[in-house]
Amino acid sequence: MSSAEQIQNGKTVIGIEFGSTRIKAVLIGEDHTPLAAGIHDWQNELLDGVWTYSLQNVKTGLQECFADLMKNVEKTYSVRLEKAAGIGISAMMHGYLAFDDNDQQLVPFRTWRNTMTEEAADKLTEVFSFNIPQRWSIAHLYQALINKEPHIGRLAFITTLAGYVHYLLTGEKAIGAGDASGIFPIDPITCNYDMDMVAKFDKLAAGSELRKGLISLLPHIVPAGDCAGKLTEEGARLLDPSGIFKAGVPFCPPEGDAQTGMIATNSITPKTGNVSAGTSIFSMIVLERNLSAVHREIDIVTTPCGAPVAMVHCNSCTSDLDAWFNMFGGLLKEFGLDIPKGKLYDTMYSLAAEGNADCDGIVSYNYYAGEPVTGIKDGKPLLMRSPDSDFSIKNLARSLVYSCVASLKAGMDILTEQEHVKLERIYAHGGFFKTPFPSQNFLAAALGSNVTLMKTAGEGGAWGIALLAAYMVNMRNGESLETYLSSRVFANMEGSTVAPKKEDINGINAYMTKYISGLSAVRAATSQ
């Protein structure tokens, strides 16, 4: 069938992802190729000290993104998007969305970007003998218990952003294994919540105002490939108020953006991994074995199939770089030069490539929020340099790009140098790589590994969750997700690979020596 016929006959699949700055919907055909997309830009807000998104903006963003997809489908193929074979929802992992028995939100959405749960994260890590990062849902819940927040007595349900949108559209309080692994630790044998740790949490919570056991508060885990609900009439009206798109479409389990990034890069087998870089940056490395120790810098999450993954998650990536580049653009505009954003970024990246490999002592800290990987509690971007540094635009630009991967490197060095984790294939995707040179090269140097950008990397997690929905629709006779991706999606996929250069490796290692030594000054600055 032609693309138009596939759309008319409901053979296409839709993936929708809520990223930190953009909501994106992708429609894919039977060959998994993207046919059309819709987007809606949005931003988090700092409300009373909490990084959040309003749920009204979640609903509005969903509608406008889907309306944009429908408009682009009709414009391109002269047919209306009225039905689909499957849908999947993905969103930023972690955070805290809390509701009462009447589905009323109890506190503003606390996103992954917040660093307000240190006491809870430390205590749970001690009790579980398992690293619990500050941004995990269980850390937010336990911190609320410690703080004796009034909403705890009314709490009936917590979920992630992807789980919430899935619930709005299907009425099912479901979650995929990967997204669930950012709520609470997963037992790799059962591919469900770790019940020993659940019992330990319930013991900690005894005597509090919490009136339900933990399991009854959490969304239930649905295996990859299974149907996790269907679009209800109410959900269809929310998704498309015009009434054109019809109810009844099956949904795959909702997943986190880290997992859909793994799917979009086919990195779900041991010794493979991917790096997603945009507002935040994180790596996902599929493990062959358990780590020898608990590392606070490394999270243990899972693939959508429940396999253990070492995750190094850093809260800040491109925000400070964007601010600097915009400032330079503003300066040029004062001189009558209105440089298009794409050309400005390409030029700045080109200058970064020409800077000294070690930036000649110029060190940039891009912390827009606290950074647990390096022990920074609050956001405060800083720039340091030696009095005799060559403070040139090239060295400054290179330092700004290095800073986007510096915290990630600090965490990844623990995996490769202390835990001796082997990296065979690293795939990269996200806005940081819109200008691949030299960002891809600098990441390769930071990791000491070849880094590949797939041809489809620009489609990102929306395409990844669409692939999970396609797997649900097309799976044959228990076909594994790994087999499905390798043989039916990525068999002939193109990509560009760069190897790390010795000069760049030596340069970024020298930069990191100064970077690590300067963290005490950053801590002092953020304590004021």
3-state per-residue secondary structure call for 199-251: HHHHHHHCCCCCCCCHHHHCCEECCCCCCCCECCHHHHHHHCCCCCCCCCCEE
Q: Is 404 in the same domain as 523?
A: yes
CATH of the domain at 470: 3.30.420.40
pLDDT tens for residues 235-247? 999 999 999 999 9
With respect to residue 105, please indicate whether it lies within any of the assigned structural domains: no
Q: What is the DSSP letter of 151?
A: G
pLDDT in tens, 245-278: 999 999 999 999 999 989 998 999 998 899 989 8
| End-to-end Cα separation, the chain, in angstroms | 64
What is the DSSP-derived secondary structure letter of residue 254?
A: P
Please tell me the predicted confidence (pLDDT) of residue 399: 98
pLDDT tens readout for residues 316-362: 999 999 999 999 999 999 999 999 999 999 999 999 999 999 999 99
pLDDT at 456: 65
Question: Does residue 286 sit within a domain?
Answer: no
Q: In the structure, what pLDDT confidence band is assigned to residue 22 with cuts at 50, 70 and 90?
A: very high
Each residue's pLDDT tens digit, 150-186: 999 999 999 999 999 999 999 999 999 999 999 999 9
Q: Would residue 214 count as lying in a domain?
A: no
Residue 501 has pLDDT above 90, yes or no: yes
Please determine, for residue 455, whether its predicted confidence score (pLDDT) is greater than 80. Answer: no
Q: Are residues 242 and 275 in the same domain?
A: no
Question: Taking residues 484-509, what's their average pLDDT?
Answer: 93
* CA atoms of 452 and 470, how far apart (whole Å): 24
The per-residue pLDDT for 237 is: 98
pLDDT in tens, 398-449: 999 999 999 999 999 999 999 999 888 899 988 899 888 999 999 999 999 9
Residue 155 forms part of a structural domain: no
Q: What are phi and psi of 134, to 5 degrees?
A: -65, -30
Residue 416 shares a structural domain with residue 515: yes
Burial 344-354 (b: 16+ CB within 10 A, else e): bbebbbebbbe
Q: In the predicted model, what is the mean pLDDT of the chain?
A: 95
pLDDT tens-digit map of 41-82 = 999 999 999 999 999 999 999 999 999 999 999 999 999 999
**Domain co-membership, 268 together with 375:** yes
Q: Residue 197's pLDDT is what?
A: 98
For residue 338, give both structure tokens.
């209105």
Calculate mean pLDDT across residues 83-93.
97
Residue 106 to residues 61, 364, 465: CA-CA distances in angstroms? 21, 39, 29
Same domain, 441 and 466: no
- Residue 458, pLDDT score: 60
| Same domain for 88 and 67 | yes
Judged against a pLDDT cut of 80, whether residue 300 lies above it is answered with: yes
Q: Are 242 and 377 in the same domain?
A: no
Judge whether residue 520 has pLDDT over 70. yes
CA distance 312 to 407: 9
The residue with greater pLDDT, 148 or 459, is: 148
Taking alpha carbons only, the member of 505, 449, 496 closest to residue 265 is 496
Question: Tokens standing for 448?
Answer: 């000491």
Given a cut of 90, whether residue 95 has pLDDT beyond it is: yes
Residues 406 and 337 occupy one common structural domain: yes
Are 261 and 249 part of one and the same domain?
no
Same domain for 514 and 406: yes
CA angle 458, 461, 463 (to 5 degrees): 75
CB 404 within 8 A of CB 318: yes
Q: Is the pTM of the predicted complex or chain greater than 0.75?
A: yes
What CATH number does the domain containing 321 carry?
3.30.420
Check whether residue 242 and residue 262 sit in a common domain: no
- Overall number of domains in the chain: 2
What share of the chain in percent tops pLDDT 90?
Answer: 88
Write down the pLDDT at residue 469.
98
- In angstroms, the Cα distances linking 38 to 70, 183, 464 are 8, 29, 15
Look at residues 266, 350, 349, 348 and name the one whose alpha carbon lies nearest to residue 304: 266
Is the dihedral angle over the CA atoms 295, 297, 302, 308 positive or is it negative? negative
Q: DSSP assignment, residue 20?
A: S
Mean pLDDT computed over 9-34:
96
- Region 299-310: what's the mean pLDDT? 94
Residues 246 and 351 in one domain: no
Q: What is the pLDDT of residue 457?
A: 59
pLDDT at residue number 16: 98
Specify if 486 maps to a domain. Answer: yes
Instruction: Please tell me whether the peptide bond between 133 and the residue prior to it is cis, using omega within 30 degrees of 0.
Output: no
Separation of alpha carbons 298 and 294, rounded Å: 8
Of residues 120, 108, 177, the one with CA closest to residue 148: 120
Q: Is residue 199 part of a domain?
A: no
The whole domain housing 27 covers: 1-92+224-253+462-493
Q: H or E segment at 59?
A: helix 55-77
Give the neighbor-by-neighbor strand order of the sheet with 281-286. Answer: 299-302, 308-314, 281-286, 272-277, 425-429, 451-454, 495-498
Q: Please tell me the predicted confidence (pLDDT) of residue 54.
A: 97
Count of other CB atoms within 10 angstroms of residue 136: 27
Identify the pLDDT of residue 60: 98
In a domain, 328, yes or no: yes
What pLDDT does residue 429 have?
85
Measured distance CA(528)–CA(290) in Å, rounded: 40
